[in-house]
Amino acid sequence: MSGFLARRILGAVITLLAISVIVYVVFYVTPGNVAQITCGPRCSPAQVQQVAEQLHLNDPLYARYWDFLQGLVAGQDYSTGTSVQHCSAPCLGLSYQSDQQVTALILAKLPVSLSLVFGAMVLWLILGVGTGVLSAWRRGRLTERLLTGVTLAGVATPVFVIGLVLMIVVCGQLQLLPFPQYVAFTDDPEQWAWNLLLPWLSLALIEAAAFARLTRASMLETLAEDHIRTFRAYGVGERSIIGRHALRGALAPVIALNANNFGGAVGGAVLTETLFGLPGIGQELVHAVNVVDLPVVVGMVLVIGFFVVAANAVADVLYAVADRRVVLA
Amino acid sequence: MSDVTKAAAPARDLVEVSDLTVDFGDLRAVDGLTFRLERGAALALVGESGSGKSTVASALLGLHRGTGARVGGAIEVAGVDVRRAPEEALRRLRGGKAAMVFQDPLSSLDPYYAIGDQIAEVYRVHTRASRRAARARAVEVLDRVGIADAVRRSRSRPHEFSGGMRQRALIAMALACEPDLLIADEPTTALDVTVQAQILDLLHTLREETGMGLLLVTHDVGVAAESVDEVLVMRHGRAVEHGPVADVLGAPEQPYTRELLGAVPRVEVPRAVSGTGEAPSEVVLEATGLRREFGRGKRAFAAVDDVSLTIHRGETLGIVGESGSGKTTLGRMLVGLLEPTAGEVRYDGHARVGVNPAVQMVFQDPVSSLNPRRSVGESIADPLRARGERDEEDIRERVRELLERVGLVAAHYDRYPHEFSGGQRQRVGIARALAADPRLIVCDEPVSALDVTTQAQVVAMLGELQRELGLALVFVAHDLAVIRQVSDRVAVMRRGRIVEEGPADEVYDNPQDPYTKQLLAAVPALDPRIAVQRRAARRELTVV
């Protein structure tokens, strides 16, 4: 187990460093005058030059990346023209746009994203796996055809359509819930949940479709296996066969898909965040890319990468718990 | 403990099947089968693949319900009308009064749960026992089938058991509810011959003690001869011959039964035609001190350890051993598909590096060893192209010739593997091996996936090819009888080493190594009387 952890952590560090290099290179070769964009359209050439100087934009790529690494390990002091700001390790730099520390920015946005994705994950697992099990059980009957239709519709409908419809109906017409507004969990857990209910639901409905289809296929595969036949031949009831034997065998691919989708949704739920006005990572990332705010982009991408890697490590542990034949290595 | 004799047994037979038909779509798998089984009696359904024997076994428990198969006729098992009984009555029958043991003991148990829990689950379905009592019952039956340290082992999962132990666990599951009937569908087909003998002996003892009836489904006439009172030979879903085991196997009346029995390779009979008849001359291949390790560090183990052998032109060397004995690893090293960790393979007197076209291989599974997306002609042409042939006309011509040589038709060139039967696919595999004009072919279990009649045909064809082309053959197999029927010389492998080597008849008629003796004693005999003698002999020969 300790060997597994050590290897996983080392692997994660290497992966994240590689990601940061790629982001630096991509932004370096992307055309466009970063200093001009950062400074704004009304800046004079002299001001633009000054901004470029201040942001080290004229330095070669490797020097800028080296600065980034130094900041990460040892922290760094930044002069913002008038004052000097100290950014302690792990420092991801300052935003070109706001001079705010990227780490602080992330810490502000991350709880929003995690709140959204965690809650949605619980819902999409319940909805998706439940639907999948039900349609495998009722295979070929009306129930299954209905469920297949609904999940197909789920995959095909964009999140903003589902989200808008939900908002209009639930908040507008029926007035069951207030229009969502983010409330921090630490401030008021009850309001936190009520306000996030609709975002959770709309994100979960989209994701659940994929889980339903995967669970159904995986269940059908397991149900065709020999050991299921054994228990049928010994008079074990269908409920126990589905719930105890087939579901457990069918879970492995579901765990894998969940790890990827969870990690992806931390930074990728942009539409949901935008629609419901949630100030999360995804929204911030899109904004930062638009204004070529390199430190923010790198920081956000690293956080997202971290969650993808971590979610996959958790999935591997869950594999080993679910199936004793799996050895962690 | 389980000698609860089912007193006041009704006068009816345990199993009464009349005019049974099973249809899968347009295919009639079972066609008008009638038989009965008295309480405590044992009947074997014997037949080749596709004869419908397993379908009959499933039909006895009503397992075809809801699968789309149409079942006709009457089936009564332990007083239950299987075709008409309500679902609940059927569930009580399954496992309660009639229990089934399946072929593949690894896939027949749920990999995620402890074996004891699986048995307890089945027990609780049929009794009102508490969890704790069911668990205790599981340990009891595991102990009963000879699992040592049953309390601890009942907590193991199936992958922690060996093949033989898993089959014992399945039998324990069957025993849990003290059924009147045990249906065993190829219960020993996936097992080594010594383990097979142990399982058959176990079934025999259990039957003596509990008085349960046995319906044995098997393709192996020897297994049937060991275990039952009556035999029913099936073909194409119909009964061919039915009678007491000694009569059917001793003096078969039907031509098909005779053909089937004739095709069964016999371990006690010397090989009919020997290789090329020439005295061993030229050495084709020589291996010295071969060793192959797998894994690293603490997990490293030697699959093959210090094996030396010589193969001459035109002769067949049989390598026989049980699973895990290293025979496949050895075969792969001879061909060059695996590099030895130590030792060397010399071909024609020269140290060999990598794969040599003159040494070819025929694989066990004719299904998975052909690319399903390429025509068989293209597969056979591969070695020709690999050798640098470029002229499409020449390649086609040569492949057609090879197809005919192995008993297929030249027009099969453009067909795909799924259009062929198992035996035909193995012929394709042999044609592919011949394409490179080899001098030596290593055949790794070339006939073990085939029915006995097909097996006999493929073996005969290999013999012919050998005589015509002066080929040297290395024949790797677990089946002692097959090895005797094809080999000039035999090497017996155990745990990576050759324990005995010599001319086939000497090794078989006068085995020196205790392991060889044990193997030979475990081979099921076709004659029920000899079977009884071997069973007695096995009790004395237990090599640890």
> For B41-66, how does the pLDDT look when each residue is reduced to its tens digit (9 = 90+)?
999 999 988 899 999 999 999 998 87
Q: How large is the average pLDDT for residues A229-253?
A: 90
Residues in Cβ contact with B190 at an 8 Å cutoff, skipping those fewer than 6 apart: B103, B104, B105, B106, B163, B167
Asked if the Cβ–Cβ distance from A235 to B122 is below 8 Å, we say yes
Q: Which of A232, A240, A324 sits opposite B63 (nearest CB)?
A: A232
Q: Are residues A227 and B110, on separate chains, in Cβ contact within 8 Å?
A: yes
Residue A306's CB: how many other CB atoms inside 10 A? 16
Q: Report strand pairing: B489-494 vs B497-503.
A: antiparallel
Q: Residue B512 carries which side chain, given as an amino acid letter?
A: Q
Q: How far is B456 from chain A (nearest CA, A)?
A: 30
Last residue of a domain, one of A101, A130, A160: A101
Instruction: Please name the residues in contact with B330: beta carbons below 8 A apart, sequence gap of 6 or more.
Output: B290, B292, B304, B307, B319, B476, B493
Considering the domain boundaries, does residue A11 fall inside one? yes
Burial track B273-300 (b if 16+ CB lie within 10 A, e otherwise)? ebbbeeebeeebbbbeebbbeeeeeeee
Question: Taking a C-beta distance cutoff of 8 angstroms, is the pair A102, A295 a contact?
Answer: yes
Q: Do B95 and A235 touch (CB under 8 A)?
A: yes
Whole-number mean pLDDT of chain B? 88
Q: Provide the pLDDT confidence category of residue A81 given band limits of 50, 70 and 90.
A: low
Nearest partner of B474 among B293, B297, B333, B279, judged by Cα: B333
Residue B273: what pLDDT?
Answer: 64
Neighbours of A86 (CB within 10 A): 10
Range of the domain at A46: 2-101
Q: Which residues of chain B does A238 touch, with a Cβ-Cβ cutoff of 8 Å?
A: none
Q: What is the pLDDT of residue A318?
A: 85
| Assigned token pair, B197 | 């003998």
Residue B43 Cα, gap to closest chain A Cα (Å): 20
Task: Tell me how far apart the alpha carbons of residues B371 and A211 are, in angstroms, rounded to a whole number.
Answer: 33
Locus of tokens 């001319």: B503
User: Rounded to 10 degrees, what is the CA torsion of B267, B268, B272, B278?
Assistant: 90
Q: Which of B202, B230, B206, B252 is nearest to B37 (CA)?
A: B230
Partner-chain residue, chosen from B109, B126, B170, that has the shortest CB–CB distance to A235 = B126
Q: Which residue has the higher pLDDT, B174 or A177?
A: B174
Between vectors from CA B46 to CA B44 and to CA B48, what angle results, nearest 5°?
Answer: 160
CA-based nearest distance A15→chain B, Å: 27
Beta bridge partners of A76: A87
A224/B contact by beta carbon, under 8 A: no
Q: Do B125 and A325 touch (CB under 8 A)?
A: no
Q: Is the pLDDT reported for residue B299 higher than 70? A: yes
pLDDT (0 to 100) of residue B4: 44
Spatial CB neighbours of B196, under 8 Å, sequence gap ≥ 6: B188, B223, B522, B524
Number of domains in chain A: 2
Going through B402-460 in order, the beta strands assigned E by DSSP cover 440-444
For residues B93 and B79, give the distance between their C-alpha atoms in angstroms, rounded to a whole number: 9
Q: Is B282 helix (H, G, I), strand (E, B) or coil?
A: coil
Contact call for residues B39 and B99 (beta carbons, < 8 A):
no
Element (H, E) at B220: none
Single residue among A51, A72, A101 that ends a domain in this structure: A101
Question: Are A226 and B107 a contacting pair at CB < 8 A?
Answer: yes
ipTM of the complex in this document: 0.79
Please choose, from the candidates A288, A258, A278, A271, the residue with its C-alpha nearest in 3D space to the C-alpha of residue A113.
Answer: A278
- Please give the DSSP secondary-structure letter assigned to residue B428: H
B104 contacts in chain A (CB < 8 Å): 226
For residue A84 the two structure tokens come to: 């000097």
Task: Judge whether residue B544 has pLDDT over 60.
Answer: no
- In a shared domain, residues A211 and A138: yes
Q: Are strands B472-477 and B489-494 parallel, antiparallel or unpaired?
A: unpaired
Burial class of B10 by CB neighbour count within 10 A (0 to 12, 13 to 18, 19+): exposed
- Please tell me whether residues A88 and A166 are part of one structural domain: no
Closest Cα to residue B252, out of B273, B232, B236?
Answer: B232
Joined tokens for residue A184 = 């921090």
A292 and A223 housed in the same domain: yes
Q: Cα–Cα–Cα angle for A107, A112, A113, nearest 5°?
A: 95
Q: Mutation test of the interface with chain B: which of A234, A242, A255, choosing the one with the most B Cβ atoms within 10 A?
A: A234
Q: Do A81 and A111 fall into the same domain?
A: no
What pLDDT is stored for residue B2 in this prediction?
43
pLDDT of B5 higher than 60: no
Using the 8-state DSSP alphabet, how is residue A168 labeled? I
Could you tell me if residue A208 is inside a domain? Answer: yes
For B475-485, the pLDDT digits (tens) are 999 999 999 99
Tokens 């999360």 -> residue: A280
Closest residue on chain B to A225 (Cα)? B107
Phi, psi of B359 (to 5 degrees): -120, 115
Chain A contact probe: residue of B63, B67, B112 with most A CBs at under 10 A? B112
pLDDT of residue B6: 45
Distance CA B163, CA B166 (A): 5
**Chain A, nearest residue to B104 by Cα:** A226
pLDDT band at A263 (very low <50, low <70, confident <90, very high): confident
**What pLDDT is recorded for position B279?**
59
CATH classification at residue A265: 1.10.3720.10
* A188 & A287 share domain: yes
Q: Are strands B283-294 and B213-218 parallel, antiparallel or unpaired?
A: unpaired
A165 assigned to some structural domain: yes
- Mean pLDDT for the stretch of residues B178-199: 89
Return the pLDDT at A171. Answer: 85
A229–B102 CB contact, under 8 Å: yes
Q: Decide if B126 touches A, using CB distance below 8 A.
A: yes
Give the pLDDT score at B133.
95
Q: What is the DSSP string of B89-147?
A: HHHHHBTTTEEEE-S-TTTTS-TTS-HHHHHHHHHHHHS---HHHHHHHHHHHHHHTT-
pTM for the whole structure: 0.81
* Cα–Cα dist B423/B451, whole Å: 8
pLDDT-derived band at B270 (thresholds 50, 70, 90) equals confident
Q: Which two three-digit tokens encode residue B220?
A: 């192996």
Given a cut of 70, is residue B543 above it in pLDDT?
A: no
Residue B308 dihedral angles phi and psi, to the nearest 5°: -125, 135
CB–CB of B401/B465 below 8 Å?
no
Which of the pair, A12 or B512, is modelled with greater confidence?
B512
A119 touches chain B (CB under 8 A): no
Q: Flag whether A327 is in a domain.
A: no
Cβ separation A232–B94 shorter than 8 A: yes
Residues A61 and A124 in one domain: no
For residue B496, give both structure tokens. Answer: 């990576």
Task: Determine what percent of chain B falls in helix, strand and coil, rounding each to the nearest 5.
Answer: 40, 25, 35
Q: What is the pLDDT of residues A121-146, one digit of tens each?
A: 999 999 999 999 999 888 888 888 88
- Protein fold of B281-358+438-512: Rossmann fold (3.40.50)
Query: Does residue A328 belong to any structural domain of this protein?
Result: no
Residue written as tokens 């921090």? A184
Kindly state whether B112 is in contact with chain A, defined as any CB-CB distance less than 8 angstroms. Answer: yes
A231 at interface of B, judged by CB pairs closer than 8 A: yes
How do residues A48-70 score in pLDDT, each as one tens digit? 888 888 888 888 888 888 888 88
- Does B106 score more than 90 pLDDT? no
Instruction: Render pLDDT for A144-196 as a digit per residue (tens, 0 to 9).
Output: 888 888 888 877 888 888 888 888 888 888 888 888 888 888 888 888 988 89
Evaluate whether residue A301 is within a structural domain: yes
**Superfamily assignment of B13-97+181-267 in CATH?**
P-loop containing nucleotide triphosphate hydrolases (3.40.50.300)
Distance from CA of B178 to the nearest CA of A (A): 12
Find, among B228, B229, B220, the residue nearest to B203 by Cα.
B228
The pLDDT value recorded for residue B442 is 95
Same-domain pairing of A155 and A172: yes
For residue A90, cis peptide bond before it (omega within 30 degrees of 0):
yes
Which residues of chain B does CATH 3.40.50.300 include? 13-97+181-267, 281-358+438-512
Shortest CA gap A232–chain B (Å): 8
Please, where are the H alpha helices in B281-375? 327-335
Identify whether the C-beta of residue A92 lies closer than 8 Å to the C-beta of residue A109.
Answer: no
Residue pair B284/B277 in contact (Cβ under 8 Å)? The answer is no
Q: Are residues A242 and A126 in the same domain?
A: yes
For B345-384, write each residue's pLDDT tens digit. 998 878 876 778 889 999 887 778 899 999 999 999 999 9
Nearest to B112 among A231, A240, A248 (CB): A248
Answer yes or no: do B107 and A245 touch at CB < 8 A.
no
Q: What is the pLDDT of residue B542?
A: 56
Query: Of A42-51, B9-18, B313-322, B528-537, where does the model show the most confidence?
Result: B313-322
Q: Does one domain contain both A134 and A270?
A: yes
pLDDT digits (tens, 9 = 90+) for B203-223: 999 998 999 999 999 998 989
Band the pLDDT of B277: cuts 50, 70, 90: low
- Which of B112, B113, B173 is nearest residue A234 as measured by Cβ atoms? B173
Query: For residue range B332-347, what is the model confidence (pLDDT) as tens digits?
Result: 999 989 999 999 999 8
d(CA B361, CA B444): 7
Query: What tokens were used for B326?
Result: 């290293």
Note the Cα B375 to chain centre separation in Å.
29
CA distance B165 to A70: 60
Last residue of a domain, one of A101, A126, A155: A101
